[in-house]
Amino acid sequence: MNFSKKLSGDILSNISKYLIYFALFTVAIFLYADQVDQNKNSHQDYIESVELERPGEYPRRKELFHKNTFPTSDVYLSFNIIKKESDELILSLLFIFLGIVFIYKYFKLSLHKTDLFFAFTAFCLSIDILYHTYTKALFFNFPLITTQIWILSIFYLPVAIFGTYWQLFGDGWKTSIKTIFRVFLTIAIAATLICFIDIIFHQIDWISFDLFPVLMTIRLVTLILALIAYLALVFDASIKTKSGDQSAKYFLIGLGLFLIFSLNAYLSAILVLVPKVAYLSHWGMVGFIIAMLKVQNDFSAQEKKAQKDKENELILAKIIQNIMVKESIVIIDLTHNIKAVNEKTTQITGYQADELINLHFSKLVLNALVTIEEINQLSKYDKSNFTSRLYYQRSDEVEISMDVTISMIPNAVDENVRILISGHEVEKSNRIMDSVNITKRENEVIHHIISGKTNKDIANSLNIKERTVKTHITHIYNKLGVSNKMQMLNIIDGYDFLPNNIDGKGKTEELVKYLYDEVIKATERFAQNEAIQNIDRLLKKIDQNDFKTHYNILNIREEIYQFLGKRLAQKHDIENMIQLAEKMSDDIMICRAILKQGKFFEMTGMYQDAIHSAERSKKLAFDKTHDELELESTVLIGKALWRQGEYKESQKVLQRGIKKSEELPNHSRNLNIILGYLYLNLGITYDFQGDHSTSKAYLEQAIEIFRNNNYSNGEADAMNNLGIIAFHREEYINAESFYKNTLAIYEDMNAVAEQVIPMANLGEVYWMQHDYFKSFEFNQKALELSVKLQFRSSEFYSRFCLSMLANLNEDYAIVSKNLSACLRLSKQIGDKALESMALARKAQVEDTINREPENLVMCKLALKQAHRISALREASMALSCLGELYLNRKKYRQAIHVFSKSLKLRLKLGQKILASEAKTEICNVHLITEKYHKAYETALEIADFLTNDNLSGTEKPLWMFYTCYRALYIKQDPLAEKILNQAYDYLRMTTDKIHDEAFKKRYLQVSYINALLNLRNRTN
């Protein structure tokens, strides 16, 4: 069992659930501290204090009690109970309530019989507390304490016996555990008998306090018995159920809290002989029973789920019986685990039904990965069905081709079990010529085609003319109904078409070589889907024990999946590569695979996992003295650290890497390139800290290294990063220059795919410069190319900017469509930062159309997500959007608070323009709430920014001028006129860049120029 591992992780994530326990105990401590302070927990002091309040009261009550004429309805008694014992009264009522809850659960919900056990325990505790409270109201009269021992014997002991008996005679328990129960049971019975003997010898009219430790021993031992009985139940459940670990966690928390208080109470009672302190244990019991409620709910859910699973299995069995027995039937759930099969499937695969049930689909089907993606689309878009060819692997590892129909089960009882796969085995022929009349000569031509020979080579090998070869190929295509070589391979792939002296079913070195070459060709011309199809075919043809070839093929497919943004498939391939490398016991290949895994984690925003993988690969590389891999791992660690905002730690790691690199005697080209990336990432960290001169020096050094080593990709990457840094610093003209240089490098390299990212970045820069026509042009080009090449990250940014352009024109349908696409893309990529951006902006736009509460929830979720991964820029954007949502709802105090937090973040990031925008939002709220003095002070800060001649006027939104002018105008500041004149200049420069007259007209209508004119006329 691994519940101890889960315990440490879950406590941190679910800490709020346990605060209620500590709150209860804190209240209890205060209550007891108050009473201890009043009467020092002393029996004699208690009596004396009563005597001071009402002289003669104690002797009078003692005499009345011995005459059995004690007035139980005495007002003073009631007052004394309420005043002195209110906490215990509340506690006893709480135990009564818990007992009722357990009883209700048992009779109404028909749950586990342990509910009765704990109901009985709760009622016993409440009776014990109430009776002890009554005795204290009578000043701890000794005969009443004697009676309390009887109550303990009558109520507590049966609880212990019942719980112990129930566990001792259960199934599956070891002798050692039974022995422990017997020991505790013996102790409890012996302690009770001692009390009985003492009571009899003292004639039941008095009792010595020397017996009190025995009294406490009975209580403590009995409760421990109950705890151990339930502990056995919890561990039993953790063995038999998957979620038992969760129940064990809640139990151990309650158990720990109870033991702390009960042991403290027990020791205090024995040493000080103060029964009052003993009741601290009951407060511990409160937390324990609350934890038990959670445990019971877990068990109930498990039992109901198990019962439902059995019902579903019966229903699935009936469904299978009603389908033609000639077809193989497999039913899987939405997590792709097999839930039911028919007899035909077991006959074909050679597995027994129980071996297939709960087996993952990919364990049975060789090409399951591609099929699973299609199944996901089927369930996502509610398509009816689709056909496919699957390759089942028999128990003897023989491959079987199956033509199947995959469909959704309508009106499924279990909504998770909804996918039905029905089909039949593909009919094989010993020779393809037997099925489609391929001649012997045509079969030889097919063999030579697969061997990778040209038509001329085939003609020379067969001693025929090249024209004759072309004729044979035409006949083959016509007979198979295909038009090219790849289609031909798809048809003949499942047949044994080769001559007798060649291994059957295409498992030949020639076919493997041909397919491998086709994969390389397809990747070079960016035909990714074709490459993946060939890889899937190749993986079926190669020897499964050829781990190295398998590893290399997966490496190619992983890079394609990375290119396509298929993160789940990419992760799956990386994990398989690690397993293959471990089978080969090749530490260098293991190191490369783990490093690739780390890069995957960094790409998807899982920075801590990336650091962990990079440290593993670095250690392996160090042990094998592989300097390149060690330094490459260092680059990844540094990058992941600055990604999550740990800039100083990143600098230390990267500088150590640079120092190690410079100490190496020989520098290969690869080592120089890695050194360039060390400098590149180091420059980025200094830029984030505002040290722009140091940052620029390191980045320029990186570019120089890349140029000296003729590594254009690195140079372009560094140039693009310089553009990103300039963009983040709001130096949009510099960013534009860097992006254009990057684009030029990729154009010289004829790298079409690499041009997408700088193209999308340029579109974003033009958007920020308010050159909307160019922004639309570049974003549209980037979008078309991204969709074609399936570059999801660049498609995200293109759509994001296009949504903002559509928002200017108030075309909310296009805005919503693009932002929804951005959300989908960010989830597919697995980038939480991008998802946060899309969520925040979508919430803001949706709130403009319809102010629903869901928009606020969506925006808060975006903010939480950004904070979770330390994405400060995305967090500042989410805060800005959240402030606008509060402003829409007239929650001005919350809006000010959120805008202020956004301002702090933007100042920390060095974003002067966006920081001024946050100030403008704050100023606007002050104007709305008529706090004109605060608005004026904020407007002066905004005016400093707007009148700064070193900043381009195209970078200053018009609404900033408008808000600033209003605040200054109210205070009659002459600076208002200057702000107004600059607003006109800004508007003129902006509209000059808009070539679309209709858009220009619309832009002028929605702008603030009319409001500014009205304000100016009012001033005049």
Which residues does 508 contact at the CB level (< 8 Å), separation at least 6? 450, 498, 502
Q: Are residues 957 and 934 in the same domain?
A: yes
More confident residue, 347 or 433: 347
Amino acid at 469: V
Q: Output the CA torsion 415→419→422→423 (10° steps).
A: 180
pLDDT band at 801 (very low <50, low <70, confident <90, very high): confident
Mean pLDDT of 167-179: 42
Percent of the chain having pLDDT more than 90? Answer: 0
Strand partners, 422: 329, 405
pLDDT bracket for residue 519 (50, 70, 90):
low
Question: Could you tell me the sign of the dihedral formed by the alpha carbons of 850, 851, 854, 857, in that order?
Answer: positive
Q: Give domain status of residue 955, yes or no.
A: yes
Which pLDDT belongs to residue 845? Answer: 81
- The larger pLDDT score, comparing residue 397 to residue 884, is at 884
For residue 343, what is the domain's CATH number?
3.30.450.20
Written as six digits, the tokens of 668 are: 């290969």
- For residue 540, tell me if it sits in a domain: no
Residue partners of 399: CB distance under 8 A and separation at least 6: 366, 391, 392, 393, 505, 540
Residues 264, 270, 271, 274, CA torsion sign: positive
Place of tokens 């357990």: 102
The candidate with the shortest Cα–Cα distance to 10, out of 242, 2, 177, is: 2
Do 198 and 264 belong to one domain? yes
Answer with the residue of higher pLDDT: 488 or 310: 488
Q: Residue type at 381? A: Y
In this structure, is residue 773 part of a structural domain? no
What angle is formed at CA 10 by the lines to CA 7 and CA 16, rounded to 5 degrees? Answer: 120
Please check whether residues 357 and 394 belong to one and the same domain.
yes
Which residues lie closer than 8 Å to 525 by C-beta, 6 or more apart?
none
Mean pLDDT, the chain, integer = 65
The C-alpha atoms of residue 259 and residue 257 are separated, in whole angstroms, by 6
Kindly write down the DSSP assignment for every residue of 857-902, as one continuous string: HHHHHHHHHHHHTT-HHHHHHHHHHHHHHHHHTT-HHHHHHHHHHH
Is the model's pLDDT at 469 over the cut of 70?
A: yes
Q: CB–CB of 601/614 below 8 Å?
A: no
For the entire predicted model, the pTM comes to 0.44
Q: What is the per-residue burial (b if ≥16 Cβ within 10 Å, else e) of 359-382?
A: bebeebbbbbbbbbeebeebeeee
Give Cα 345 to chain centroid, integer Å: 37
Are 105 and 134 in the same domain?
yes
954 band by pLDDT with thresholds 50, 70 and 90: very low
pLDDT number for residue 275: 45
Q: How confident is the model at residue 34 (pLDDT cuts 50, 70, 90)?
A: very low
In a domain, 176, yes or no: yes
Backbone angles phi, psi at 424, to 5 degrees: -135, 160
Domain region containing 1011: 922-1020
Cα distance between residue 404 and residue 249, in whole Å: 45
Tokens of 379: 């369930």
Which of these three, 710, 734, 761, is where a domain ends? 710
Q: How far apart are CA 71 and CA 78, in angstroms?
A: 11
Task: Judge whether 533 lies within some domain.
Answer: no
Residue bearing the bigger pLDDT, 354 or 472: 472
**Residue 357 and residue 464 in one domain:** no
Q: Give 331's strand partners.
A: 340, 420
Statement to judge: residues 441 and 456 lie in one domain: yes
Do 49 and 32 have their domain in common?
Answer: no
- Above 60 in pLDDT, residue 300? no
Percent of the chain as helix, strand, coil, to the nearest 5: 75, 5, 20
Least confidently predicted of 221-230, 357-366, 469-478, 592-601: 221-230
If asked whether residues 206 and 162 sit together in one domain, one would say yes
Contact 682, 670 (CB under 8 A): no
353 versus 31: the higher-pLDDT residue is: 353
Question: What is d(CA 573, CA 587) in angstroms, rounded to the nearest whole number?
Answer: 18
Contacts of 734 (CB under 8 A, 6+ apart): 723, 726
Give dist(CA 1013, CA 137) in Å, integer. 83
502 Ramachandran zone, left/alpha/beta (phi>0; psi -120 to 50) = beta
Contact 449, 511 (CB under 8 A): no
Highest mean pLDDT among 69-73, 193-197, 214-218, 838-842: 838-842
Task: Read off the pLDDT of each residue in 244-260 and give the average, rounded to a whole number.
Answer: 49
* Tens digit of each residue's pLDDT (9 = 90 or more) over 42-84: 444 444 545 554 555 555 555 544 444 444 444 444 444 444 5
Q: Is residue 868 part of a domain?
A: no
Tokens representing residue 1017 in the block:
């006329």
Q: Looking at 278, 305, 332, which one is the last position of a domain?
A: 305
Identify the H or E element spanning 63: helix 57-66
- Please tell me the distance from the alpha carbon of residue 925 to that of residue 902, in angstroms, as a whole number: 14
Instruction: Please state the φ and ψ torsions of residue 370, each to the nearest 5 degrees.
Output: -65, -40
Contact in structure between 425 and 401 (CB atoms under 8 Å): yes
Residue 400 pairs in a beta bridge with 392
pLDDT score of 659 more than 60: yes
Sort residue 75 into left (φ over 0), alpha (ψ -120 to 50) or beta: alpha
Strand bridging mode 399-408 / 385-393? antiparallel
Assess whether 234 and 356 both reside in one domain: no
Structural domain count, the chain:
6
For the residues 360-381, what does the mean pLDDT come to? Answer: 65
**Which of 74-78, 356-360, 395-399, 554-558 is the least confident region?**
74-78
Tell me whether residue 409 is in a domain: yes
The predicted model gives 484-496 an average pLDDT of 59
Same domain, 213 and 280: yes
Quote the tokens at residue 683: 């420059």
Same domain, 338 and 294: no
Domain end position, chosen among 657, 683, 710: 710
Q: Where are the beta strands (DSSP E) in 384-487?
A: 385-393, 399-408, 417-425
Q: Is residue 958 within 8 Å of 1009, Cβ to Cβ?
A: yes
Q: What is the pLDDT of residues 333-370, one digit of tens each?
A: 777 788 778 778 887 888 877 778 878 777 777 665 55
Residues 555-583, mean pLDDT to the nearest whole number? 74
Q: Give the DSSP H or E segment for 313.
A: helix 280-321
Residue 986 has a pLDDT of 64
Residues 400 and 475 both lie in one domain: no
Domain membership flag for residue 913:
no
Which of residues 714 and 654 earns the better pLDDT score? 654
- 632 in helix, strand or coil? helix
Per-residue model confidence (pLDDT) at position 735:
82
- For residue 338, what is the enclosing H or E element? strand 338-341
**pLDDT for position 396:** 66
Lowest mean per-residue pLDDT among 316-325, 483-492, 548-557: 316-325
pLDDT score for 146 = 44
SS (H, E, C) 464-488: CCHHHHHHHHHHHHHHHCCCCHHHH
**CATH number for the domain that contains residue 217:** 1.20.1070
**272 vs 857 pLDDT, higher one:** 857
- Cβ-contact 912, 920 below 8 angstroms: no
From its phi and psi, is residue 515 left (phi > 0), alpha (psi between -120 and 50) or beta? alpha
Distances from the Cα of 749 to the Cα of 165, 432, 525, 828, angstroms? 81, 46, 14, 29
